Structure 1
């Protein structure tokens, strides 16, 4: 059985000034800030469990969704919440933001994350690696990076994988909401081929 869980991700206004005072451990590879609002529509079957791993960025909502905030809603800044967004023409890495767990009870799952609609230079979704037996650190989880379903990352039962996010913003004057959608696609071994329609252009 193939399974999909969807994130609605909104990246808000690009901050163009004084974000350098923000930092203090909130960003692993940058001292500046910018926005990502990610809401996860909870899957009623629970085959693929998605959870917050870093309380600075991630929290659960009252309707069972996961929300990720890399904007003023995260409370970051010299004065809480005064960091408005990521700077243009910059790269930011956020470690262990959320996790994906194989809770299907049907053996191994093959998992990729489809990113669509973002007005960014690039977005990377990679495995942190320490929690998953068969997915090593740095492995891409982004569907676009695969052309063959045989190479899609395998999440053995009942493992989880923590997801790192790297966001690269454009240098074209783009401001405002530059978000898109993240959809987690998972399939059991017998349905692995059904992931082919969301893989890279060569699939």
Structure 2
């Protein structure tokens, strides 16, 4: 009988010690740390967006000065020959309009999403190496290693669609870069 009392006593002591010391878990912690985050223009950000400076550079504004990249194919950006937009019931292709470059520290998958306008699906963005009949950029289509880049071309296909003079096809494009 003494042995049973001894074993019961040791078991109770072990259970009490475990309850007293706990498991190290906690319910919540609040810790303040310094964090520095700066906004950089598109040309110097981790995901660089910059005009290529080629034949279609007229359609890229705010190019090369570190601000936000804009692509203008409307009447606010008419050409010196009088052009003010793309043709209805036609296919317009613009090669090598801008460059996306990974200036971060790890490989990223880059894609885009389009919003606004009357027909955003008519405007397609193609990474370097993809032909216009290939796959356009969508959610995460291009993998860029550190320092790697791709030129992007644009196709606007209004054939068979009921768009007309003054219709705004697309408002904005959001670029997404996710680390792999």
The TM-score, its normalising length taken from structure 1, stands at: 0.55
Q: What stretches of structure 1 move > 3 A for 4+ residues in a row? A: 41-45, 71-75, 136-139
Residue 142 of structure 2 corresponds to 153
CA separation in 1, counterparts of 2:82 and 2:59?
Answer: 15
Q: State the secondary structure of the residue aligned to 1:56.
A: helix
Higher helix fraction: Structure 1 or Structure 2? Answer: 2
Kindly report which structure 2 residues correspond to 1:15-26, keeping only aligned pairs within 5 A, or say none. none
1:142 alignment partner, one of 134, 138, 143: 138
Q: 1:139 to 1:171 in 2, by over 3 A?
A: closer
Instruction: Give the unaligned 5+ runs of structure 2.
Output: 1-39
1:65-99 deviations in Å (ceiling 9; x for gaps): 112232455452xxx15212212111111111011
1:16-52 deviations in Å (ceiling 9; x for gaps): xxxxxxxxxxxxxxxxxxxxxxxxx946982211001
Q: 1:86 to 1:43 in 2, by over 3 A?
A: closer
1:115 Cα deviation after fit = 1.2
Aligned length: 132
CA separation in 2, counterparts of 1:44 and 1:172?
Answer: 37
Q: State the secondary structure of the residue aligned to 1:140.
A: coil
1:129-180 deviations in Å (ceiling 9; x for gaps): 3xxxxxx66553222xxxxx6xx32111111110011111263254323322
Q: Does 1:69 align with 2:72?
A: yes
The TM-score, its normalising length taken from structure 2, stands at: 0.61
Residue 42 of structure 2 contacts residue 69 of structure 2 at CA under 8 Å; is this kept in 1?
no
Which structure has the larger Rg over C-alpha atoms?
Answer: 2
Higher deviation after alignment, 55-64 or 162-171 = 55-64
Instruction: Give the unaligned 5+ runs of structure 1.
Output: 1-40, 130-135, 144-148, 190-203
Higher relative contact order (CA 8 A, sep 6+): 1
Residue 183 of structure 1 corresponds to 174
